[in-house]
Amino acid sequence: MSNDSHWVNTPPQMPTNRPKKPRLIALAVVLTTAFAGGVLGGIVGSSARESSSSNTPLITAAPLKAGQVGNSSVAKAANIIAPSVVTIDSLGANSESVGTGIIITSDGEILTNSHVIEGAEEVRVRLSGATDPIMADVLATDPSNDIGLIKLRNTTGLTAATFANSESIAVGDQVVAVGYALALDGGPSVTSGIVSALNRTLQMDQETFLDRLIQTDAAISSGNSGGPLINMNGEVIGINTAVANGGASSAANNIGFAISVAEVQRVSKILQEKSNGVAREQGFLGISLGSREDGGSGAVIGEVTAGSPAEKAGVKVNDIVLSVDGQMITGDTSLVAIIRDSAPGDKITITVQRDGKKLELVATLVARPKE
């Protein structure tokens, strides 16, 4: 049972009589075991990480010239995004992580995955076509959403990526993933696929709940972290973050995940405010949750905290939460993620099923209590 006031320490438990899902493991993976690690199973993040004493390939992204642009829609889309994709070399005390980033402002603000720059003491960025790196500063990170914001020093005139309208994304759409897979020499890797599903939710660890994810069969590998998933117009629809691999009791093929553009834009705004000294608190509803075990969708209310917004709204134990503000709740993790991403003062409409009837309850969130 998970608790929205203590969700960091209480991950939901899987029923013992159900087939086990692929296990979730740490996002960062060791570059030297990237190939072997794929057969172990789980969710594998796509940064290429190794010790600082190893020789990470230095990457030069040669820009595509007009005569080199292919005729396919994939080639044309990749050419549009190319100037806005960078490689990120993040150096920590005892580690080095190579990932990808997306330029979002002409003066050098870049989005990437939080795990790419985790523990960074020095961040070096190479622009498309450049031979020398530019130093960057970490402005803010949100590990719970796996998004980080960095900024190049003394840089102007860059090409910012264009973000797609989140409402334009549909299952079956053709997409392209771009990034520095496995930190190989040369420019970024380009792979294509489709949008396999929308609004996926993954609990990566006790602190990271990724919701509203785009699932894709476009190949995503170590080093792709922080890179764009784009549509055929070269517009960013998500940030590549993880891939699923099969385990001993399950199989997973061509299943990758990207943080959707709606989440990217929401979190990036918060990070920009945070970098300017504006802190944002998380919302609190005051419930504990359990997984629905009758084969249906939704999350089951296990407990309601006395005096909490949930109690004031009329939420009851054993209510089944079906949606929040129109967003379907597929399980307890998706509800936890929605509440966490809301702010104190936000009013949310909770659709619950109680005794076979649907009810709409309105709750006004408060600040999460200090632990």
* Together in a domain, 250 and 330: no
Kindly state whether residue 2 falls inside one of the protein's structural domains: no
Give the single-character DSSP code of 132: S
* Together in a domain, 309 and 267: no
* Together in a domain, 298 and 237: no
Structure tokens of 219?
């190949």
| Strand 147-152 relative to strand 134-142, pairing | antiparallel
**Whole-angstrom Cα distance, residue 197 to residue 214?**
6
| Strand 28-30 relative to strand 47-50, pairing | parallel
Known catalytic membership, residue 189:
no
Q: Which amino acid type is present at position 325?
A: D
Nearest to 284 by CA among 237, 331, 234, 341: 341
Known catalytic membership, residue 115:
yes
- Domain end, chosen from 249, 280, 311, is at 280
**In this structure, what are the phi and psi dihedrals at residue 66, rounded to the nearest 5 degrees?**
-55, -40
Q: pTM surpassing 0.75?
A: no
Query: Which helix (H) or strand (E) element contains residue 36?
Result: helix 34-37
**Whole-angstrom Cα distance, residue 348 to residue 236?**
29
- Domain end, chosen from 280, 312, 347, is at 280
2, 95, 115, 192: the catalytic one is 115
* Together in a domain, 170 and 80: yes
146, 211, 332, 341: the catalytic one is 146
pLDDT along the chain (371 residues), means of 10: 33 33 34 29 45 34 50 90 93 88 95 92 91 93 91 94 94 94 74 92 73 90 88 96 71 83 91 81 84 81 91 92 87 79 88 92 87 62
**Whole-angstrom Cα distance, residue 119 to residue 333?**
27
* Together in a domain, 265 and 342: no
Known catalytic membership, residue 297:
no
**For the domain that residue 312 is a member of, what is the CATH number?**
2.30.42.10
**Whole-angstrom Cα distance, residue 220 to residue 110?**
20
**Whole-angstrom Cα distance, residue 134 to residue 212?**
33
Give the single-character DSSP code of 143: T
Give the single-character DSSP code of 67: G
**Domains identified in the chain, total number:** 2
Q: What domain range includes position 184?
A: 19-280
Nearest to 227 by CA among 179, 176, 159: 179
In 3-state terms the chain splits into helix, strand, coil percentages (rounded to 5) of 15, 40, 45
* Together in a domain, 276 and 290: no
Tokens 């549509």: give the residue: 231
**For the domain that residue 189 is a member of, what is the CATH number?**
2.40.10.120
Question: Residue 67 has what pLDDT?
Answer: 45
Query: Which helix (H) or strand (E) element contains residue 255?
Result: strand 255-260
CA angle 24, 44, 80 (to 5 degrees): 135
* Together in a domain, 116 and 141: yes
Residue 195 near residue 102 (C-beta atoms within 8 A)? no
**Whole-angstrom Cα distance, residue 151 to residue 139?**
7
